[in-house]
Structure 1
Amino acid sequence: MVTPAFGRQMRDEHFLFAKSYVPLNHGSYGAFPAAVRTYQRSLQDQTEARSDAFIRFKAPSLLLESRTAIAGLLQVPRQTVVFVPNATTGVNTVLRNLTWNEGDVIVYLSTAYGACEKTIVHVCEITPATSVRIDALFPIEDDELVDTFRLTVQNIAAQQGKHVKIAMFDTVCTFPGVRLPWEALVKACKAEDGAHGIGHIDLSDLGQIDPDFFTSNCYKWLFTPRPCAIFYVPTRHHHLIRTTYPTSHGFRPLQEQQAATSASSDNDYLGELFKWAATVDMSPYLCTLEALKFRSNVCGGEAAIRNYCFDFAQQGGKRMAQLLETEVMDNKNATLSQCCFAVVRLPLRFASDTVSTTYGFTDRRSEATRGGVEYNQQLLPPERGPEFVKTIMDKLRDEYDTWIPMKFYSGAIWFRISAQVYLDMADLEWAAGVLSKLCKELPGSASGS
């Protein structure tokens, strides 16, 4: 097999970015190759040519093929996997299908995606359920996070009339972009959200890990068009999922549903429920098989993609930290960085910055750079951290035609880089130079006015 030409050549030959754009934020909205775009447009053309024939008869068979392909990737039964527009929809589908009683508690981590946290807040407003938010300050060791999670669940259970009904957490969290010990968390309390999972980390043992529910965006890392996500529900929980959102043609009255979900394992109750959740453009779902073909035929397969992206994220993060003379966020066992993200600290010091002393980060300054931006004598006021984040991100968008997510977190500004097959080290070295320049231009920095 020919070794894939990852990096700039892959970007120029197979992706659709503007020539001047440097795509450093794959993790938010993903990207898909031209071959998948061509296939999607052919599906849309077929829809417009004969809408009834395609939507009513051909699309369902193609949808079944896509579900079968995804089930093969995850190594779970096809009857347990359906498509939804995005992971937020998957989370809403679970939380709004469950029956909530007094004493029911939802547990989630502080790293939860904002829309999912707001869903929990709303559910608790309109039902008797309550929630517990576990504050997780990164970097943290996996064992410490799991122990904190387990202790929280135990403390809730010790309260009279309280019990954890469901817990929500990620495989790879949005910010900071780090891998969580989701397998161990499932064992501690089964139920989760993993928006960045599929196409990012290896999920081929999903059935063995056995979460109660799992949802993940395909458009983020699997090269499908937007919107497209998978929603996994093991057969034992099919009876809990009574409706799609919005409720549509697949809904069955309770008596009919009970008969359907108690049938044999060949019964496709979930598939029938989600097959027609109102009239939508189904082409992103139907492109899944084409995306998997591209990943296999052009990129060399899932393992090749992961190996390149994981190594690139780790080496690229270290290189950017070296150029900026700062740090990569990771724990002592280097488990947080086992993903396609690198989280790096900007060379700015704030009066509230306890990161270095708390986590024992090393001082990478040379004698020649001790008077640089980060180490000016007057520390920056922490209340200006969010303002500086907005200033830098606006300039990245408007002046440099790129986008790098960043956040004032734990007393410092951290940014997140997404590793992908269309990037190479030159892209990250360029980004480090731009970030260094923008930091120096900030008011109150060593070189700023």
Structure 2
Amino acid sequence: MDDVKSLPSKDIILQRESRDDGRPSPEFGKPMLQNFLFDLSYRNLNHGSYGTYPREIQKKLRHYQDLAESKPDSFIRYKYPLLLDSSRAAAANLLNAPLDTIVFVPNATMAVNTVLRNLQWNADGKDEILSFTTIYGACGATIDYMVESNRGLVSSREIVLTYPCEDDEILSLFCAAVETSRKEGKRPKICLFDTITSIPGVRFPFEAMTKLCRDFGILSLIDGAHGVGQIELDLSTLDPDFFLSNCHKWLYVPRGCAAFYVPPRNQGLIRSTVPTSHGYVSKMPKRANPLPVGRKSAFVKNFEWMGTIDNSPYICVKDAIDWREQVLGEERGIREYMQNLAREGGKRVAEILGTEVMENRKGTLTQCAMVNVALPFRINTSASKTDSTASPKGERLGTSNARNSGEISISESIKIELSLRGGAEADEYWLPEEEVLGVTEWMQETLIRDYKTFVVVYPHGHRLWTRLSAQVYLDLEDFEWAGHTLHELCQRVAKGEYLD
């Protein structure tokens, strides 16, 4: 885990005088924008969803595509595998993993599907897949599909998490779930968990969870979609059973590309790629393979070719890692800037909104480059459209209708007035639960249409929150702008504009 100290806000925008190698330190913040491809009118505050890549990497991508078109067979059959191996080696070095454990797939969801679809479930029907309610939605849907399609051979068990919470609470809930599963005659076989969850965007205690899985004899499947390029990762020390991480999010690799790690002890479990292709080693009579024969392991060879698609992003991984070192400096410096900017920027946004940052007592949730800030809206889960006592949409906390209905607590019903930048007052409002989806959709669409930016707005723990991403091309001014923009947007919601 990175030992990153919070810096005073004024120091966030200052750069080191020189790098460890003696070269001038990069100037992070707005000067770094010249290296990227953003529209000049757009502020990219949501790097976490889709990532981006520099102009130089775009040139590399197109160069490889041009090579493929100039001599298709020569490049695809013979040159591409060599370039792929170079990128695999670069990723393995960054992740501190043996080369023969690292392959590439299009995205993290594909890697999760690859693991779960390859596992063999016991005929007694006792196997269980454990996960948390905060895992990525597509991964949760994959678990649902595995349960439904295997018709009684495997079941699932979700562990409910509500943030902010302490890491120890998460670990205790996991231990309790394992105990309950076994008492019910089930067999916890594999657990899917994150390095950094997507929503909320918080750091998960994946190191301790991996050890617990090992102690319990449960396979660990780590969704590190937000891992590589954002936090330090050492897979040899971590030693998970399966690990995956999107390179196109925080590592500046073109979409889509994910590193997929399987240690030798488990490679025999992953017999097929998704979809199955030429590398599959069948128990049936051997089929002809039109691709060149190599001396690589069956696992590596299996993932070298998964059908005819544009694999150019895979071979950009080495270029992206080289660019980071040459232009941005050491990985630790990149992480420090982003994590400190997320912390300090999140505090600024919370000050402007009169709310708070999602954090626990030990400060572990914000040990990443994303930050979650509460919006001034509470969710009333008991109000409904047919309930005559429900208060009007967007009504302030503390109005008589809301208090008299008994649907919110006295502490919630007190009007919250906080002194903000510019002397503004902040009111907290409450929303009936059935209005939440409409409000969040309206806010996100309005951010794009009227403000030329985007942040994720989502409900969690009976409140609305927003998730912001820090990056080397952003600075504190961007977060302050985001705070004022969100403050204005929340006022528009409170006036009922989302109902128009």
TM-score higher than 0.5: yes
What secondary structure, in the 3-state scheme, does the structure 2 residue paired with 1:16 have? coil
Corresponding residue number in structure 1 for 2:469: 418
Are 1:46 and 2:67 matched, yes or no? yes
Give per-residue Cα distances to partners, 1:261-282, cap 9 Å, x unaligned.
xxxxx96222111001111111
Superposition deviation, residue 151 in structure 1: 1.3
Instruction: Please say if residues 380 and 445 of structure 1, whose CA atoms lie closer than 8 Å, have aligned partners that are also in contact.
Output: no
Give per-residue Cα distances to partners, 1:18-39, cap 9 Å, x unaligned.
1101000100100000010001
Superposition deviation, residue 346 in structure 1: 1.1
Give per-residue Cα distances to partners, 1:178-203, cap 9 Å, x unaligned.
00000111111133222111111100
Aligned length, in residue pairs: 433
State the distance in 1 between where 2:420 and 2:104 align. 56
Are 1:135 and 2:157 matched, yes or no? no
AA of the residue aligned to 2:258: A
Superposition deviation, residue 382 in structure 1: 3.6
State the distance in 1 between where 2:352 and 2:421 align. 14
Are 1:334 and 2:363 matched, yes or no? yes
The within-5 A match list for 1:18-417 is: 18-101=39-122, 102-127=125-150, 128-160=153-185, 162-189=186-213, 190-203=220-233, 205-254=234-283, 268-351=297-380, 365-366=418-419, 372-375=425-428, 379-417=430-468
Superposition deviation, residue 230 in structure 1: 0.6
Corresponding residue number in structure 2 for 1:2: 24
State the distance in 2 between where 1:107 and 1:278 align. 32
Instruction: Please say if residues 257 and 313 of structure 2, whose CA atoms lie closer than 8 Å, have aligned partners that are also in contact.
Output: yes
State the distance in 2 between where 1:325 and 1:247 align. 53
State the distance in 1 between where 2:411 and 2:334 align. 35
Per the alignment, do residues 320 and 237 of structure 1 end up closer, same or farther by CA in structure 2, a change over 3 Å counting?
Answer: same
Query: 4+ residue runs of structure 1 moved beyond 6 angstroms?
Result: 353-359, 367-371
AA of the residue aligned to 2:319: E
Instruction: Please say if residues 373 and 467 of structure 2, whose CA atoms lie closer than 8 Å, have aligned partners that are also in contact.
Output: yes
State the distance in 2 between where 1:72 and 1:169 align. 24
Instruction: Please say if residues 355 and 411 of structure 1, whose CA atoms lie closer than 8 Å, have aligned partners that are also in contact.
Output: no
State the distance in 2 between where 1:129 and 1:28 align. 31
Superposition deviation, residue 48 in structure 1: 0.7
State the distance in 2 between where 1:73 and 1:368 align. 42
Superposition deviation, residue 445 in structure 1: 6.7
Instruction: Please say if residues 316 and 428 of structure 1, whose CA atoms lie closer than 8 Å, have aligned partners that are also in contact.
Output: yes
Superposition deviation, residue 255 in structure 1: 8.5
State the distance in 1 between where 2:420 and 2:256 align. 50
Which runs of 5 or more residues in structure 1 are unaligned?
Answer: 258-265
State the distance in 1 between where 2:98 and 2:420 align. 60
State the distance in 2 between where 1:184 and 1:357 align. 39
AA of the residue aligned to 1:442: V
What secondary structure, in the 3-state scheme, does the structure 1 residue paired with 2:172 have? helix
Per the alignment, do residues 356 and 308 of structure 1 end up closer, same or farther by CA in structure 2, a change over 3 Å counting?
Answer: farther
What secondary structure, in the 3-state scheme, does the structure 2 residue paired with 1:83 have? strand
Superposition deviation, residue 375 in structure 1: 3.9
Instruction: Please say if residues 351 and 420 of structure 2, whose CA atoms lie closer than 8 Å, have aligned partners that are also in contact.
Output: no
State the distance in 2 between where 1:122 and 1:290 align. 37
AA of the residue aligned to 2:167: D
Corresponding residue number in structure 1 for 2:290: none
Superposition deviation, residue 380 in structure 1: 3.6
State the distance in 2 between where 1:307 and 1:368 align. 27
State the distance in 1 between where 2:47 and 2:494 align. 30
Instruction: Please say if residues 417 and 425 of structure 2, whose CA atoms lie closer than 8 Å, have aligned partners that are also in contact.
Output: no
State the distance in 2 between where 1:401 and 1:348 align. 23
Corresponding residue number in structure 2 for 1:262: none
Superposition deviation, residue 291 in structure 1: 0.2
Per the alignment, do residues 403 and 156 of structure 1 end up closer, same or farther by CA in structure 2, a change over 3 Å counting?
Answer: same
State the distance in 2 between where 1:68 and 1:368 align. 50
Instruction: Please say if residues 385 and 412 of structure 1, whose CA atoms lie closer than 8 Å, have aligned partners that are also in contact.
Output: no
Superposition deviation, residue 371 in structure 1: 9.0
Corresponding residue number in structure 2 for 1:260: none
Mark the structure with the bigger radius of gyration: 2
What secondary structure, in the 3-state scheme, does the structure 2 residue paired with 1:99 have? coil
Question: Percent of counterpart pairs with the same letter?
Answer: 43
Superposition deviation, residue 250 in structure 1: 0.6
Instruction: Please say if residues 319 and 429 of structure 1, whose CA atoms lie closer than 8 Å, have aligned partners that are also in contact.
Output: yes
Which runs of 5 or more residues in structure 2 are unaligned?
Answer: 1-22, 214-219, 287-294, 382-396, 398-406
Superposition deviation, residue 208 in structure 1: 1.3
Per the alignment, do residues 231 and 196 of structure 1 end up closer, same or farther by CA in structure 2, a change over 3 Å counting?
Answer: same
State the distance in 1 between where 2:417 and 2:361 align. 17
State the distance in 2 between where 1:106 and 1:28 align. 26
AA of the residue aligned to 2:211: K
AA of the residue aligned to 1:238: Q
Per the alignment, do residues 364 and 181 of structure 1 end up closer, same or farther by CA in structure 2, a change over 3 Å counting?
Answer: farther
State the distance in 1 between where 2:179 and 2:296 align. 37
Superposition deviation, residue 350 in structure 1: 4.3
Instruction: Please say if residues 23 and 403 of structure 1, whose CA atoms lie closer than 8 Å, have aligned partners that are also in contact.
Output: yes
TM-score normalised to the size of structure 1?
Answer: 0.91
Per the alignment, do residues 334 and 356 of structure 1 end up closer, same or farther by CA in structure 2, a change over 3 Å counting?
Answer: farther
Superposition deviation, residue 254 in structure 1: 3.7
What secondary structure, in the 3-state scheme, does the structure 1 residue paired with 2:244 have? strand
